[in-house]
Amino acid sequence: MSFTVTILPSGHQMEVEDDESVLDAALRQGYALPYGCRNGGCGSCMGKLITGEVDYGPMRPRALSEEDEAAGKALFCQAYAMTDLEIEVPEIGAVKDIVVKTLPARVVEMNRLNHDVMELRLKLPAIERLQFLAGQYIDILLRDGRRRSFSLANPPHRDETLELHVRHVPGGSFTTQVFETMKPKALVRIEGPLGTFFLREDSDRPILMMAGGTGFAPLQGMLEHVFAQAIDRPIHLYWGTRSREDLYRDEQVRAWCAEHTQLRYTPVLSEALDDTTWEGERGWVHETLLRDYPDLSAHDVYMSGPPPMIAAARPLFLAHGLPETQLFFDSFE
Ligand code: FES
């Protein structure tokens, strides 16, 4: 059984089968709706359900609160149509024509960046190039059918190798493999590029970037892209981590600040109380950003990090005047 979905404000119409999510149907038919995790955890695919009914199965998706649902919001990566629908969600022209590929890739370099982050560099077969937008991610396809998502930390013009920042998740089988048994020359399969977290180049608003931990990776790709393209917009990067050691590209960012006057940088440590020599900011990174920018109405904000950081920051940023259309985020465990 299939239903008709009308996407507003474009008026595009598509068919959705009863065994596929609204997002899957859209991507299958070439409509680029916003998305990130595709598992109900990040909230990137949220839009409005204007008319019709959707079903989420027995559990409400994590990123959809009761208040969201009561306000007519829907999470389209998890929503199955029960009737014809009218939905309101911005279509993203820039990713529409980018081809998602499944490819073999070889690990050509592994660099420990600190105690629990590894830089993996992957090389594609000689005849292949991955066309992507700065900030998008790829999935590594595991043999058992599961997949692990990692942001591309390199900008599109630096694509001889794909750069990933892999944080060791205790008990996580893939990241443990990366830290304990993987060696250069290993082969993996990837799918990508994916997601709609990328730099919007049609805006001229000043940019605030906020990273949590390895959420720095896609922002690194965006920053290198900005510098290479000579995009002349002020950028202030906030990077929140537990300790100083977790700021694994701190020196690099400081070197960029010295070279590019458009960039400001504020690292924020949430722990490390015994680090008496740290003279920088302490506390929650989103609170530090809001202290510096209590009025966000004129900015574009890009944030990337763990779900609790995104969940804490999103409503506060909107309450401080940030238009919802100017907030872009990526949320990964
Ligand atoms: Fe739908 Fe993340 S919640 S893409």
Ligand 1 pocket member 223 (CB < 6 A): no
Q: Which of 11, 15, 13 shows the shortest CA–CA distance to 1? A: 15
Residue 128 has pLDDT above 90, yes or no: no
Give residue 22's pLDDT: 97
pLDDT band, residue 135 (cuts 50/70/90): very high
Ligand 1 pocket member 322 (CB < 6 A): no
Ligand 1 pocket member 122 (CB < 6 A): no
DSSP string, 247-316: -TTHHHHHHHHHH-TTEEEEEEESS-TT-TT--SEES-HHHHHHHH-S--TT-EEEEEE-HHHHHHHHHH
What residue owns the CA closest to ligand 1's atom 3?
Answer: 40
Mutate to test the pocket of ligand 1, among 24, 33, 38, 304 (most ligand atoms within 8 A of CB): 38
Instruction: Give residue 76 CA to ligand 1 midpoint distance, Å.
Output: 7
- Please state the atom number of ligand 1 nearest to the C-alpha of residue 62: 3
Instruction: Give residue 195 CA to ligand 1 midpoint distance, Å.
Output: 10
Give residue 149's pLDDT: 95
Residue 235 has pLDDT above 90, yes or no: yes
23 contacts 76 by C-beta, under 8 angstroms: yes
Ligand 1 pocket member 43 (CB < 6 A): yes
253 contacts 202 by C-beta, under 8 angstroms: no
Interface pTM (ipTM) of the complex?
A: 0.99
Residue 92 has pLDDT above 90, yes or no: no
Give residue 95's pLDDT: 78
List pLDDT tens digits, range 7-65. Answer: 998 899 999 999 999 999 998 887 888 888 888 988 889 999 999 999 999 999 999 99
- Mean residue pLDDT of the chain comes to 94
What are the structural domains, with CATH classification, of the chain?
2-91 (3.10.20.30), 98-194 (2.40.30.10), 207-331 (3.40.50.80)
Residue 93 has pLDDT above 80, yes or no: no
CA distances from 310 to 39, 47, 77, 307, 333 (A): 16, 17, 18, 5, 11
Instruction: Give residue 78 CA to ligand 1 midpoint distance, Å.
Output: 8
